[in-house]
A = this chain, B = another copy of it.
């Protein structure tokens, strides 16, 4: 279950140093359940390594993102990160009411991408696409509590 060993190998191969900070950030995210906020990662990492700096956390997460080791998801307007799904990319639907994030299979976007390509020659960045909205549960909750006052 040491699912981040491949990530460590990637770091090595690309000539990046294996610092305790990087290993801790990695294992923090790996041990987390789904995506984590930056501060969440920072607080957890600081427990394991008290000198940990927030700037290092950001730099590390960006490096990991560049290497494809983690995936960035915008939840609300904060950045969250999760280990990249080895099964293949997925996208996210993020509920702005409960901040829940739901996976979205890439095939839902394939058609959209093709259309933009054909019609406009535009190549969209849809690798880590997230669409904001309201999930079914929150729509219902809103309906029940009388959400129609606008």
Interface of A with B (CB < 8 Å)? Answer: 93, 95-96, 102, 104, 108-109, 111-112, 115-116, 119-126, 131-136, 139
* B120-A124 in contact (CB<8A): no
* A122-B134 in contact (CB<8A): yes
* A134-B139 in contact (CB<8A): no
* A125-B133 in contact (CB<8A): yes
A136: chain B residues within 8 A (beta carbon) = 120-122
Complex Cα distance A123/B125, Å?
Answer: 22
Indicate whether A96 sits within 8 Å of B125 (C-beta atoms), given known contacts A112-B112, A133-B116: yes
Complex Cα distance A116/B139, Å?
Answer: 14
* A122-B108 in contact (CB<8A): no
A93: chain B residues within 8 A (beta carbon) = 116, 120, 122, 124
